[in-house]
Amino acid sequence: MSAFRYQALEVLLRQQIQAGRYQVGEKLPSVRTLCQQHTLSKATVVHALHKLEADQLVYAVPKSGYFVAEGMSYTDLPRKVSTPSVPAPVNVPDIFRDIMSRSAAFDILPSDGSTPVSQHLITLNRMIAKSSRTHPEQKAYYYDEPKGYAGLRQAIVDLYRQRNTPMNAEDLCITSGCQHALFLALMASCQAGDTVAIESPAFYGVLQQLEQLGLNVIEIPSDSNTGLDIAELEAKIQHWPIKACIVTPNFHTPTGSKMPVANMKALLMLANQHDFYIIEDDIYGELGFQNGPCPAIKSECTQGRVILCGSFSKCLSRELRMGWIAGGRLHAKIVQLKLITQLASPQAIQQGLAAFIHQGHFKRHANQYRQQLKEQSDQLLTELKRGWGQAIKFSRPQGGLSCWVELPEHIDTQKSYPSLLEKGVVLTPGALFSAHGLYRNHMRLSFSQPLTEGRRSALQLLFHTLLKDEP
């Protein structure tokens, strides 16, 4: 057995695990498969796996194989931060609003040009244009039905079936993107003065909604790998009853974390015991780096407690402004709120999109885009490790568009925002992701765009600016 051969495999698997290629609890390829893939002897493969096991990256299950360990032995993951234990209203500073609208593009260097256009997007445009030529007078003079086009709702149901999350077209309502869906979910489930639990760090778009609706917020620490800390949630709601918990189980922004199924079940049990709604933000649900089906919390819920919100903005096109909501026991109320806030959705876009999904284009696009994101994520993580691995900690996204970076404590990422913006570089400061001013030494980095030379330089400039006062 050559030392070089087992080490090469060990390094490869280690990189793949740390880059999130295999998620926590997932089985690695079998010894036999690894032998075949790498033309190695069984002894060599087992030796490499034993090394990983010794480092606590994987654990063996007798007669089954090797699995990625829960507490992967990264030393460079952002730490869980303790959060205030008392609910408080949100107060979003004005400067954040500017940052938010720029950060929505998830691009550190918007001037650098975006991903080359995919053939699938061209096909989608053609199908929408075709729908708009069909019965244009009907579309011009009559509104769509309040729930949205039934064909599109059925197409979304089909996508969820592939994720082992069964539902019916009647359970869905089309919205103007996920932001609209989340707003409807909060309006339907809460009243001003109620308390809502959020992940910490949390998606900033929701913080503005919570502020506007006069809701109190309690932040629950979240793990960079497994998401919301269920035990912390349980401890906090003993003292502070909540009306709803907003959570992004599948590929949360900013961390890219994925909630294990066991945690989903535990969260649902808590919701049933303590009578609150789960508002599930599923906007990144199609963007897992693993190809297997990735169920939503909704799939485990039998009591209509989960309000599932999603959108095609992140997995297909931000231009569509097409999202959905499955409101569970609040669904009728939510459809009314959709009518009140938007009346109806454009019909041609819905019809074109439904045809695009039915004909399999969406699946092909998503598979390709997922692969691309995975590669871009690997590139970014490699770059971070290589360039600033000693100074920072960063999450290992299991899907989605972004990675969460912790910098040394004395650094305030927000302070560098204006000077970087002048140079065209969009920094997304960590403080955006907290209702209570946490994460000043954090930031979100995205791999939604290819790591071009321009973006590589922007990253250099970013870290140079942030770390220049490094003692």
Rounded to whole angstroms, how far apart are CA atoms 13 and 34? 10
Q: Which one of the spans 60-68, 151-159, 201-209, 385-393 is the region binding a copy of itself (CB under 8 A)? A: 201-209
Min dist CB 292 to a copy of itself, Å, is 26
Contact flag: residue 372 with a copy of itself (CB under 8 A):
no
Among 18, 83, 209, 257, binds a copy of itself (CB under 8 A): 209
**CB 28 within 8 Å of CB 16:** no
Question: How far is Cα of residue 158 from the mean position of the Cα atoms in its chain?
Answer: 21
Total interface residues for a copy of itself by CB under 8 A: 61
Contact flag: residue 187 with a copy of itself (CB under 8 A):
yes
Of 12 and 100, which CB lies nearer to a copy of itself in the complex structure? 100
Among 79, 143, 166, 262, binds a copy of itself (CB under 8 A): 143
Contact flag: residue 295 with a copy of itself (CB under 8 A):
no
Contact flag: residue 341 with a copy of itself (CB under 8 A):
yes
Rounded to whole angstroms, how far apart are CA atoms 51 and 31? 14
Interface of this chain with a copy of itself, residues 419 to 458, rule: CB under 8 A: 448-449
Among 1, 37, 142, 419, binds a copy of itself (CB under 8 A): 142
Say whether the peptide bond before residue 450 is cis (omega within 30 degrees of 0).
no
Q: Which one of the spans 4-12, 112-120, 355-363, 392-400 is the region binding a copy of itself (CB under 8 A)? A: 112-120
Of 34 and 307, which CB lies nearer to a copy of itself in the complex structure? 307
Contact flag: residue 114 with a copy of itself (CB under 8 A):
yes
The amino acid at residue 358 is H
Contact flag: residue 107 with a copy of itself (CB under 8 A):
yes
Q: Which one of the spans 1-9, 247-255, 299-307, 313-321 is the region binding a copy of itself (CB under 8 A)? A: 313-321
**CB 188 within 8 Å of CB 307:** yes
Of 199, 201, 206, nearest to 220 by C-alpha is 199
Contacts of residue 193, Cβ cutoff 8 Å, sequence gap at least 6: 214, 215, 216
Among 148, 201, 205, 221, binds a copy of itself (CB under 8 A): 205
Name the CA dihedral angle for 66, 398, 123, 110, rounded to a multiple of 10 degrees. -150
Q: Which one of the spans 6-14, 71-79, 227-235, 312-320 is the region binding a copy of itself (CB under 8 A)? A: 312-320
Q: Which one of the spans 122-130, 239-247, 260-268, 404-412 is the region binding a copy of itself (CB under 8 A)? A: 122-130
Q: Which one of the spans 33-41, 49-57, 176-184, 417-425 is the region binding a copy of itself (CB under 8 A)? A: 176-184
Of 348, 361, 364, 369, nearest to 152 by C-alpha is 348
**CB 374 within 8 Å of CB 289:** yes
Among 3, 54, 75, 133, binds a copy of itself (CB under 8 A): 133
Of 51 and 444, which CB lies nearer to a copy of itself in the complex structure? 444
Among 39, 54, 75, 141, binds a copy of itself (CB under 8 A): 141
Rounded to whole angstroms, how far apart are CA atoms 221 and 70? 17
Contact flag: residue 11 with a copy of itself (CB under 8 A):
no
Of 73 and 134, which CB lies nearer to a copy of itself in the complex structure? 134
Among 32, 97, 161, 464, binds a copy of itself (CB under 8 A): 97
Q: Which one of the spans 19-27, 72-80, 274-282, 338-346 is the region binding a copy of itself (CB under 8 A)? A: 338-346
Give the 3-state DSSP-derived string for 433-444, with helices as H, strands as E and coil as C.
HCCCCCCCCEEE
The beta-strand segments (E) located in 74-214 are: 88-89, 172-175, 195-200
The C-alpha angle 319, 321, 325, rounded to 5 degrees, equals 150
Exposure of 12 by Cβ count < 10 A (0-12 exposed, 13-18 middle, 19+ buried)?
middle
Min dist CB 214 to a copy of itself, Å, is 8
Of 328, 84, 312, nearest to 216 by C-alpha is 84
Contacts of residue 76, Cβ cutoff 8 Å, sequence gap at least 6: 385, 389, 392, 393, 394
Helix axes 42-54, 3-18, angle to 10 degrees: 50
Binding site for a copy of itself (CB under 8 A): 97, 100-101, 104-105, 107, 110, 114-118, 121-122, 125, 128-129, 132-133, 136-143, 145-146, 176-177, 179-180, 183, 187, 192, 205, 208-209, 212, 316-321, 336-337, 339-349, 448-449
